[in-house]
A and B are shown apart, each in its own frame.
Chain A
Amino acid sequence: MKLSILVKLMGVVGLVALLVGGVGSFLVAREQSKLFDKLYMDKTQALVLSLDASVTEKDLEDPEDLRAGIYKLLLLNPDVLEISIFKSNAGKLEKLVSTGLSDAEHDDNQQNSEAFAGNKSVNHKETHDGILALDLFAPLHVSGRVAGTYNVVVSLKDLVDSQFKQTRDLMLLMIGAVALFVIGMSSLVKTVISNPLRKLIETTIEVEKGNFDGKIEVKGKDEIGDLAVAFSQMAKKLKHSYSELEKRVQEKTVELSTALKTTQNQNKTLEENKAAMLNLLEDEKELEETLEKRVLGRTKEVVEEKAKLLGSIEAIVRAYVLLDLQGQIILVNKKLTQFLGGVDGDWTLDKLQQKLGSVFDIKKAFANCLKEKNTFYVKEINLGAKFFDLYVAPVFVNETELVDVLILMGDITEEKVLDRSKDEFFSIASHELRTPLTAIRGNTDLILQFYGDQIKDPQFKEMIDDVHESSVRLIDIVNDFLDMSRLEIGKMEFKKENLDMGLIVAEMLKEYQVTGSRKKLSLEFVKPKGGAVWAVGDKDRVKQVLVNLIGNGLKFTEEGGVTISLSTEGNMVKVCVEDTGRGIPKENQSLLFRKFQQAGSSLFTRDTTKGTGLGLYISKLLIEGMGGKIELVRSEEGKGTVFAFTLPGVDKKIRTS
């Protein structure tokens, strides 16, 4: 919006005039108000003083007259809103008389007690119905002493009203004066400033249009006249400048066109650079594509790898179950369903447990595997007609981090069947082989025993002897072979009997008494001190070992004899068999307990009269099967040999109970 200078000027003048008037009237009103305030104060003071003077000792006791006087006072002075008189009673101020509108407001004890101390106070306050009032507290004097206080509230309503009226009149007067002043000023400004200025403006518009020859007819000798002259000069100068400018513009245009050409050249170079950049980007893209191809290749490899892995899991002849640590089944192969039969939906640990029933607690095995981080192996689970073995194994990443649990089940039904037929083979073989041999041995034995005197031909007798010896040897061999086989496949069962070892040794020595005396060898038993020695073992098997050791001792001894001693070593019972025989060569000692090893022979020489070479090997298996150990204590060529074996002793508590 365009406001002429005139309007603006008038506005400013008007505002200044209003400000001056306003401030003036405010100051006047304030002065007036002070004056009125003082007037009211004086009036109130006078009231109080007269009140102070009029209160007597009697009034303090009986305030009836005082109250009547105060009511009269209130009626005469409508400005007084309230008068309260307080009486001092043992230092405390009690209300004696109270009148007026706002009884409830009288709780200003601070001011009241101040007044009792002699300090008069006057404050402005607003009563509950919004009337501005003077609130006065003063000491009450009766008979020349301070007997209490007063409180007088005087309305300032009339004062305020009269003040407002005066201020309003003053303001109206001021506004009228200002209006007159402005009108006068405006006509003056119009002739002196506004008109010449308008002319100037018109000429300026002409100059703006390019007409520099416009004349300004301003005749005044004042500043505006000077301005018009200056303006004409400026217009002339402008005209000159303008033509100069045009010339310059033409020159600049030429310069610019040269610059433009340069810029165009630069643009071209930039364009070329851009193309190069694009090529570079293209290369980048190609690189990316190659990379992508490579990644795809790798992915394919990974997929193939995975397929291979899955294929190999399918190819395993065992059922394969991979579980996470929460027992969720991640992967199974088809063998699982083949072995255990199908289930509805996916396999879970629960379903697996259902299939296994009470035969095997797979959940417990899983929990144990997690806890112990060890592989559990179950040798045999029998489900119906089938037999399985089962592994529960922890799966580690980086050898330490447990990630999964693997269950593998193998169908061992075939092996079981084979095992059984092996058992049957041994049973049948032992019967079939031993039966005819028993007949041969029994008969030759009977011939030699009962018909020996009928055989006159010594050669015939020798033949019968040979047949008998061979049958005995053959029975021994067959027995050894069968024992060995059964021991080696763990088929031999050992009874756990409490054995009085002294008794057993004595029994054995009795059996060998005949053989010993035939070779003129001594058989001694060194009994332990402190009563019987008890061991745990299978009586027949222990005897078998003793037969082997005592038999060997007698076989290889020509002079002296065999001594057996018994002792306890910690929890074990130790049996030593010592002979005074030819001894075992050093080089053969380490091979003694091996299969088919004969003490005196090398691998290629065999003494068929000595036995099968299985005796010590079987003894070793027997003793170990019963929880003991057998060893060659010492052997010296020409001096003798000591063998010893141990057996677990009997727990004393159990034996005595």
Chain B
Amino acid sequence: MFVGRTFERIFSLNKYEVVLVGTGKEGLEQVRTARPDLIMLDILLPDIDGIEVLRRLKGDVATSKIPVVIVTNSAEEKQVKQARSLGAVDYLLKAEYTPDQLVEKIKRCLQTGKS
């Protein structure tokens, strides 16, 4: 969770409104009430894996339009392919970006996701 908190901090310090959740189930619930502009999703989650969360998000009309960016440290080719085919906007490795770069990247994803 402390990585999550770090991310929360990175984005809230950069003036973004952030809702942080700890599990896949929690995420799927919060999405309905929070109605975010973008979802950052990890693959390795405590309950359901991220790919499954992504599938459910895209399978639900209410959430299927929200752009999803996979932000993880798991870089298996299979997962990357799966995520992309399920409609993830991007697949980012946490460790490869400094906070500044990450913010920049997400900003760009928000623009492409909206358009």
Instruction: Please report A residues at the B interface, Cβ cutoff 8 Å.
Output: 423, 427-428, 430-431, 433-439, 441-443, 445-446, 449-450, 472, 475, 478-479, 482, 491-493
A427 in contact with B74 (CB, 8 Å): yes
Q: Quick one: given A439-B2, A439-B3, A441-B98, are A434 and B10 in contact (CB under 8 Å)?
A: no
Q: Which residues of B sit under 8 angstroms from A441, Cβ to Cβ?
A: 95, 98
Q: Which residues of A sit under 8 angstroms from B73, Cβ to Cβ?
A: 430-431, 433-435, 438
Docked pose: A361 CA to B78 CA in angstroms: 29
B72 in contact with A431 (CB, 8 Å): yes
12 A–B contacts from the bound complex (CB under 8 Å)? A427-B74, A431-B73, A431-B74, A434-B95, A435-B73, A438-B3, A439-B2, A446-B6, A446-B10, A446-B99, A449-B99, A482-B75
User: What DSSP secondary structure best describes chain A's contact surface?
Assistant: helix
Q: Which residues of A sit under 8 angstroms from B7, Cβ to Cβ?
A: 442
A446 in contact with B13 (CB, 8 Å): yes
Q: How far is the CB of B30 from chain A (nearest CB, A)?
A: 21
Q: Is B94 located at the chain interface by the 8 A CB criterion?
A: yes
Q: How far is the CB of B43 from chain A (nearest CB, A)?
A: 8
Instruction: Please report B residues at the A interface, Cβ cutoff 8 Å.
Output: 2-3, 5-7, 9-10, 13, 44, 72-77, 93-96, 98-100
Docked pose: A445 CA to B9 CA in angstroms: 11
Q: How far is the CB of A489 from chain B (nearest CB, A)?
A: 13
Q: Quick one: given A434-B95, A437-B95, A479-B95, are A443 and B77 in contact (CB under 8 Å)?
A: no
Docked pose: A446 CA to B72 CA in angstroms: 19
Q: How far is the CB of B73 from chain A (nearest CB, A)?
A: 4
User: What DSSP secondary structure best describes chain B's contact surface?
Assistant: helix
B44 in contact with A431 (CB, 8 Å): yes
Q: Quick one: given A446-B6, A446-B9, A450-B13, are A438 and B77 in contact (CB under 8 Å)?
A: no
Q: Which residues of A sit under 8 angstroms from B95, Cβ to Cβ?
A: 434, 437-438, 441, 475, 478-479
Docked pose: A433 CA to B3 CA in angstroms: 12
Docked pose: A493 CA to B93 CA in angstroms: 16
Docked pose: A423 CA to B74 CA in angstroms: 11
A427 in contact with B9 (CB, 8 Å): no
Closest 8 CB pairs of A and B: A434-B73, A434-B95, A442-B6, A438-B94, A439-B3, A431-B73, A431-B74, A475-B95
Q: Quick one: given A439-B2, A442-B6, are A479 and B96 in contact (CB under 8 Å)?
A: yes
Identify which of A423, A436, A443, A491 gathers the most chain B CB atoms within 10 Å of its CB.
A443
Q: Which residues of B sit under 8 angstroms from A482, Cβ to Cβ?
A: 75
State which of A431, A478, A479, A493 has its C-beta within 8 Å of the C-beta of B77: A493
Q: Which residues of B sit under 8 angstroms from A431, Cβ to Cβ?
A: 44, 72-74
Q: Which residues of B sit under 8 angstroms from A446, Cβ to Cβ?
A: 6, 9-10, 13, 99
State which of A433, A438, A493 has its C-beta within 8 Å of the C-beta of B6: A438
Identify which of B3, B44, B73, B98 gathers the most chain A CB atoms within 10 Å of its CB.
B73
Docked pose: A116 CA to B87 CA in angstroms: 131
Docked pose: A39 CA to B12 CA in angstroms: 171
Q: How far is the CB of B31 from chain A (nearest CB, A)?
A: 23
Q: How far is the CB of A540 from chain B (nearest CB, A)?
A: 9
Docked pose: A493 CA to B6 CA in angstroms: 31
Q: How far is the CB of B32 from chain A (nearest CB, A)?
A: 28
Given A430-B73, A446-B10, A449-B13, 8 new contacts (CB under 8 A): A427-B76, A431-B44, A434-B73, A442-B7, A445-B100, A446-B13, A475-B95, A492-B77
Q: How far is the CB of B6 from chain A (nearest CB, A)?
A: 4
Docked pose: A482 CA to B95 CA in angstroms: 12
Q: Quick one: given A430-B74, A431-B73, are A445 and B99 in contact (CB under 8 Å)?
A: yes
Q: How far is the CB of A80 from chain B (nearest CB, A)?
A: 133
Q: How far is the CB of B100 from chain A (nearest CB, A)?
A: 8
Q: Quick one: given A431-B44, A475-B95, A478-B95, are A442 and B75 in contact (CB under 8 Å)?
A: no
Q: Which residues of A sit under 8 angstroms from B99, Cβ to Cβ?
A: 442, 445-446, 449
Q: How far is the CB of A133 from chain B (nearest CB, A)?
A: 126
Docked pose: A455 CA to B96 CA in angstroms: 27
Docked pose: A491 CA to B80 CA in angstroms: 14
Docked pose: A491 CA to B77 CA in angstroms: 9
Docked pose: A433 CA to B10 CA in angstroms: 20
Taking CB as reference atom, which chain B residue is nearest A423? B76
Q: How far is the CB of A145 from chain B (nearest CB, A)?
A: 134
Taking CB as reference atom, which chain B residue is nearest A471? B95
State which of B6, B44, B100 has its C-beta within 8 Å of the C-beta of A439: B6
Docked pose: A446 CA to B11 CA in angstroms: 10
Q: How far is the CB of B3 from chain A (nearest CB, A)?
A: 4
Identify which of B10, B72, B94 gathers the most chain A CB atoms within 10 Å of its CB.
B94
Identify which of A442, A445, A493 gathers the most chain B CB atoms within 10 Å of its CB.
A442
